Amino acid sequence: MAFAQKKVVKSAEKNFKKGDLEIALTEVEGATSDPETMEDPATYLLKAQIQTKMFDLDEDFAASTVEKGRQAFGTFTKTLEMVGNDANSKIGKEIYKEDLPGMPENLKPYSLMALKGSAFNKAITTYEEDDFEMAYQFFALASDIDPKDTTLNFNAGFLANDLGKTEEAKMYFNRLLEIDGYDKLNTYYFLIQIASGVDQDPEAAYEIVNKARKDYADDKTLAEFEIQLLLQLNKMDEAMASIEEALKSDPNNAGILLRYGYLKEQSGDIDGALVQYRKSVEADPEFYEGNYYTGAIYLDRARAILADVNNLSDDEWEKKSESMAKEADGLYKEAIPYFTKASELKPENTDIMEILFQIHSRLKNTADAENYNQKLTALLGENWMERER
C-alpha cells in the first residue's frame, strides 16, 4: 500500500513537470489524504508547487485566481508546520527557494517566493489596468506571504484605504510600524486620518500622533495634527502649549496661527485672536479660513457696537451715538478686504456674498452693494432676501 501511494506521488510529480496540472493535483490530493503518505511533508510541498504553478498560469485575474494563490499559500504554511517551521531544513529551503528571473521552465522552483513574485506581478498588471479591487487582492496575498516586505504592505494598505476597506488598511499599515528601519511617516499620516476621519475616534488618532512624534519630533504636519486633535478633545491648555511650541520652529505656519487665534478667542482674548488671525493671512494671503475669521472678528465687533447704540438712553444717545456709529463703520470697512478675498477664494459661497452686500449697503457703497445683489440673484433667485435662513 505504501509503495502504491509513493507511485501516485511520483506520478503526480511527473505530471506536474509535464504540465498536466489538474491530473497532478488530483493525484497529490489523493496522496495527502492517504494514511501512508499524508504525514510526509514532501507530499504537501509538491501539492503547494502544483497549486503555485496553476496560480502562475491563470490569466483570468479574478477572485478565483486569488483563491488559487491563497490555497497554495495555505499548503506551503502547512508544509512548513510539518517540519517545525524550520526554514533551514531540507523542505524549508525548498519552500523559500528563490525564483530568479529568466530561469528555464524545468528549473523553476514554484516555491513560496515564486508565489509571492507571481502575486506581485498580477497586482502590477491589474493596477495598470485600473482594476484596483483585484490589484488590492493580489498585493494583499503577496504581503501576507511576506509580512516584512514594506512595498507590498504599503501598496496593500494604500489600496485598501482607497477602496474603503478600513480595517484591512489598518492591518497593513500597522504591520509597517513593526518593521525596523522603515520610514513610517506616511504610514502614520494614513493611520491618523483613518482614526480621526473614518473611525471618528479623535482619542485613538491622538494616541497615534503621540507615538509618531516620538519618532518624528520635528515634523510640522504631525504638530498640526496634534493641535487639531487637542482642540477636538477640548484639551485647551495642552493645545495652547503645543501651538506655542510649534510656532517656535514654524512661526509663519498659517494653519497653526489660525488655531492659536481660535484658542485665544475661546479664552475671551478677542484682541489676541484678531492679531493671530491677521498674522495667518499675512503668512498666506490665499488662506480662506484666515481671511474669513479675521473678517468675522471685525464684523462681530461692529455689530456689538451697534447693539450697544440701540440700548443707549436718550441722554447717552445724543452724546455717543454718532461716534459709536462711526466706530462701527470703521470696523465694517476693516472687514471688507478680508471677506472680499474669502469670497474670491470660494466664489459660490452665498453667505459671504450676503455679508458683503449688507456691509456695502450699510456704508452706502451703492455700486458694490448692487454688484453682490446681482450675484446673489443669479445664484439664489430674485427673492433671495426673503428666503429663510
pLDDT tens, the chain, 389 aa long: 444 557 888 899 899 999 999 999 999 998 888 887 788 999 999 999 999 999 999 999 999 999 999 999 999 999 999 999 999 999 999 999 998 877 777 788 999 999 999 999 999 999 999 999 999 999 999 999 999 999 999 999 999 999 999 999 999 999 999 999 999 999 999 999 999 999 999 999 999 999 998 899 878 788 888 888 988 898 888 988 988 988 998 999 999 999 899 888 888 899 999 999 999 999 999 999 999 999 999 999 999 999 999 898 988 888 899 999 999 999 999 999 999 999 999 999 999 999 999 999 999 999 999 999 999 999 999 989 887 55
DSSP code of residue 256: H
Contact by Cβ (8 Å): 281, 251: no
Residue 104 lies in a domain: no
| Structural domain containing residue 377 | 347-389
Residue 385 lies in a domain: yes
Predicted pLDDT of residue 100: 84
> Could you give the dihedral angle defined by the CA atoms of residues 22, 25, 27 and 29, in that order, rounded to the nearest 10 degrees?
-140
In 13-39, which positions are buried (b, 16+ CB within 10 angstroms) versus exposed (e)?
A: bebbeeeebebbbebbeebbebebbee
Cα–Cα distance between 100 and 271 in angstroms, integer?
69
CA 252 to chain CA centroid, nearest Å? 26
Q: Which of 346, 345, 343 is nearest to 372 (CA)?
A: 343
Cα–Cα distance between 22 and 17 in angstroms, integer?
12
Residue 373 lies in a domain: yes
Residue 276 lies in a domain: no
Residue 378 lies in a domain: yes
Residue 353 lies in a domain: yes
Give every CB contact of residue 2 below 8 A, 6+ residues apart in sequence: 36, 37
Residue 360 lies in a domain: yes
- The overall pTM is greater than 0.75: no
* Structural domain count of the chain: 1
> Could you give the dihedral angle defined by the CA atoms of residues 142, 143, 147 and 152, in that order, rounded to the nearest 10 degrees?
110
Cα–Cα distance between 156 and 330 in angstroms, integer?
57
CA distances from 55 to 48, 156, 329, 370 (A): 10, 19, 76, 70
Residue 355 lies in a domain: yes
